[in-house]
Amino acid sequence: MLMKYSMPAILCTALLVSCQSNAQNTNLSVEEFQKAIAQKNIQLLDVRTREEYLSGHIKNTFWADWNDRTEFQSRAEALDKKKPIYIYCLSGARSNAAAQWLRKQGYTAYNLNGGINAWERAGKPIEGFRATKQISMQEYLSQIPGNKTVLVDFGAEWCPPCKLMAPIVDSLKSHGSLPFVLVKIDGGAQVEICKKLGVDAFPTFIVYKNGKETWRKQGIIEAKEMVSHL
């Protein structure tokens, strides 16, 4: 009789330990995190504020501020559910919350335990913000011929929707029957011209005809809609 009840109890205990182990595996140590992000077909996400991101971040990182939930959710929609996401913040709290939220949406997400603080303490490499010469309005307008159709693409390397739109824009440009001039602006670095033009989200696309703005839109856009305005 003792064996009859002890085996289910042992199995339940084993299952509990297994579940706890799996939960713990979503919070990775610095070494585990570094090894994981060295693989191909992964996504790396910084969920700190813009100021924190610019102060120093891990190479090849997307950025989406967890504190701005509307922006975060919008950028998360552009992430690939087929690829694991490795997330970090300053000390691990925000990234852990973001990872939990992403897992509920169907993503596979892992958190850097201790955040970028732990990463730096371990002597791991980060990239800092490099001051970029800001282009003037005159320099910006000089790239827009007055006698041609121009598409200006404001994007940033850390922006998931920008990466999703890149092949669409490139395919339109390579299409010979749709003549237009493509101007790409690194909005992550060229913050001054973005302020002057009211570009506050990426990607933002602006079409100019005869030197005048005729259309603009933010976010992920279908190719046929963009073609209709070009």
Question: pTM of the prediction?
Answer: 0.70
Residue spans of beta strands (DSSP E) within 9-162: 27-28, 43-46, 62-63, 85-88, 109-112, 149-155
Q: How far apart are CA 229 and CA 151, in angstroms?
A: 10
**Is the predicted pLDDT of residue 127 greater than 90, yes or no?**
no
pLDDT digit string (tens) for 203-218? 999 999 999 999 999 9
pLDDT digit string (tens) for 162-171? 989 999 998 8
> Which three-class secondary structure state does DSSP give residue 149?
strand
**Is the predicted pLDDT of residue 91 greater than 50, yes or no?**
yes
Measuring CA to CA, which residue among 93, 74, 84, 87 is closest to residue 41?
A: 84
Task: Give me the pLDDT at residue 121, please.
Answer: 86
**Is the predicted pLDDT of residue 72 greater than 70, yes or no?**
yes
**Is the predicted pLDDT of residue 66 greater than 70, yes or no?**
yes
Is the C-alpha dihedral spanning 52, 53, 56, 57 positive or negative? positive
Q: How far apart are CA 57 and CA 32, in angstroms?
A: 18
Contact, 194 vs 226, CB < 8 A? no
**Between the CA of residue 27 and those of 21, 61, 93, what are the distances in Å?**
10, 18, 11
Residues annotated as part of the active site:
159, 162
Percentage with pLDDT > 90 across the chain: 62
Task: Give me the pLDDT at residue 131, please.
Answer: 62
Cis status, amide bond into 203, omega within 30 of 0: yes
CA angle 148, 222, 59 (to 5 degrees): 90
CA angle 26, 29, 32 (to 5 degrees): 85
Residue ranges of domains in the chain, CATH in brackets: 25-121 (3.40.250.10), 137-229 (3.40.30.10)
Looking at every residue in the chain, the average pLDDT score rounds to: 86
Q: In what order do the strands lie in the sheet with 27-28?
A: 27-28, 109-112, 85-88, 43-46, 62-63
Q: How far apart are CA 44 and CA 28, in angstroms?
A: 13
Contact, 210 vs 193, CB < 8 A? no
Residue 69 has which token pair? 């939930």
CA angle 194, 163, 197 (to 5 degrees): 10
